[in-house]
Amino acid sequence: MKSSDSIAMEWYPACQVNDVPRNGGVCVKLGEQQIALFHFTRNGEWYASQNSCPHRNQMALSRGMIGSLGEVPKVACPFHKKSFSLIDGRCLGNEQEYSIQTFPVKIENNTVFIGLTKNQN
């Protein structure tokens, strides 16, 4: 879980904890935005990113494979295997021109919340 204290953040309920598969992801829609939500149960962390893979603009990252590159949690697009950091969104391969947007996540009373800045939703 990560937070950003200096940016005005609004928290939106996305789903219940049990709605997300262990060590997997789901797509949630907040307003007009599709967001990929991931639960790394092996380290107790939650991550959220845009669902669209920037390589081919396919709404697929929520179905991607999650893992780690060293200490960096990542998701790989299920179609083209481009990997992105779930911390800062950078591409972890040679394609540095690609990146994804990431969002903070928090859990309260078994509900998963995703933080969006006021201009994101």
How does pLDDT run across 73-99, given as a tens digit for each residue?
Answer: 999 999 988 999 999 999 998 888 899
Q: In terms of residue numbers, what domain contains 29?
A: 21-117
More confident call, 38 vs 5: 38
Is a pLDDT exceeding 90 seen at residue 8?
no
Is a pLDDT exceeding 70 seen at residue 121?
no
Structural domain includes residue 73: yes
Structural domain includes residue 76: yes
Structural domain includes residue 84: yes
Structural domain includes residue 14: no
Residue 25 sits in a domain of what CATH number? 2.102.10.10
Structural domain includes residue 69: yes
**pTM assigned to the model:** 0.88
Tell me what pLDDT residue 100 has: 97
Q: Structural domain tally of the chain?
A: 1
pLDDT band at 2 (very low <50, low <70, confident <90, very high): very low
Give the CA distances from residue 81 to residues 70, 78, 84, 114, in Å, rounded to whole numbers and listed in that order. 17, 6, 10, 25
